[in-house]
Structure 1
Amino acid sequence: MSGATPATQFLLRAQVAFRPVEYRYDPGSERVALQAAEAIGLPPARLLKTLMVEVDGRPACAVLPGDRSLSMKRVAAAFGGKSAAMMPPAKAERLTGYHTGGISPFGQRRPVPVAFEADAMGFDEVAINGGRRGLLLLLSPRDALAALSAKAAVLSA
């Protein structure tokens, strides 16, 4: 595959069907996920953003629709913790091996627990970052959940 990333390689090894879609990444966009959804003509609820968090000081990954915000209380509960906070961008980049704006839940340098917003499971197909800025992967959210041994939970405010 031309332009392969650790995310696409992970999905190929897991035998998960996906379609790559490239778009023009705008680093100046205030809301990157919404800009990406618009660029590929997808409703924001079907574009899932990947956010790295720390739950009781331990890293975790939250995947939720681009038009939603995390509830740190719900994130902590989803991962069985007491408190949660956003991971600093530099730490997220070191941990995942990806640059912010291109972080994927697939193929991270150091795998961490992952939770998907439960509502996202209702779609046949969603877009998730493919491991570099400007690359999205269209796939079944249920296949993504299974490949990551992730859980579905209510994560948004």
Structure 2
Amino acid sequence: MAKKPKTAGGTPATVALTAAGIAFEVRAYEHDPRAESYGLEAAEALDADPARVFKTLLASLDPSTGSGQRGRLVVGIVPVTGQLDLKALARALGGSKAVMAEVAAAERATGYVAGGISPIGQKRAHPTVLDSSALNHDTILVSGGRRGFDLELAPRDLAAITAAVTATIGR
């Protein structure tokens, strides 16, 4: 079986952006595993306004109650300065309820490690919602697929490559 070619310093996110012809800038920094908030750490290390730095969170939409079946995984992208409003996320995707996904499930479904989950280039495409506050900025930063590795790009480009809808899902 042939191995996939490696790109120097690339991640599935950078490969996907390059293939789509979307302009982006790599913004790397030395990650401190003791940091309390990886997102706020990124903002400080990259000298970026924290309102422009977004985190990628996975949730389970309409999880069952007692049948043993899980809901479908969905992605919420919100500023690191706030929290994901799970009710708003569910409404934005036509669901009734959402709960945070288990870390192991998020890692398996995306192919990324927690704290470095990129909304771009995940193993499987998931319904995605980008917080509408992203549209207030020319560019935003999201994880590039590993801790200490962010990507700066236009929010409309992020929405396009992830097929995201925009809604107010942060609080």
TM norm structure 1: 0.97
Q: Separation in 1 of the partners of 2:112 and 2:89? A: 22
What amino acid does structure 2 have at the position aligned with 1:46? R
Among all aligned residue pairs of Structure 1 and Structure 2, give the percentage whose two residues are the same amino acid: 43
Match of 2:58 among 47, 52, 55: 52
Residue in 2 that maps onto 1:18: 24
Structure 1 residues 37-75: Cα deviation after superposition (integer angstroms, max 9, x where no partner)? 101000111001100111111100001111011111111
Say whether residues 1:143 and 2:157 are aligned partners.
Answer: yes
Question: Tell me, which stretches of 5 or more residues in structure 2 are unaligned?
Answer: 1-6, 63-70
Q: Separation in 1 of the partners of 2:29 and 2:57? A: 20
Say whether residues 1:115 and 2:115 are aligned partners.
Answer: no
Q: Separation in 1 of the partners of 2:27 and 2:47? A: 11
Alignment of 1:64-143 (within 5 A): 64-143=78-157
Question: Tell me, which stretches of 5 or more residues in structure 1 are unaligned?
Answer: none
Residue 122 (structure 1) shift: 1.4
What amino acid does structure 2 have at the position aligned with 1:78? A
What amino acid does structure 2 have at the position aligned with 1:47? V
Residue 84 (structure 1) shift: 0.5
Residue 143 (structure 1) shift: 0.9
Structure 1 residues 105-133: Cα deviation after superposition (integer angstroms, max 9, x where no partner)? 10000110111000111100111100111
CA RMSD of aligned residues (A): 0.9
Residue in 2 that maps onto 1:152: 166
Equivalent residues, number: 157
Residue 7 (structure 1) shift: 0.4
Q: Secondary structure at the match of 2:145?
A: coil
Q: Secondary structure at the match of 2:108?
A: helix
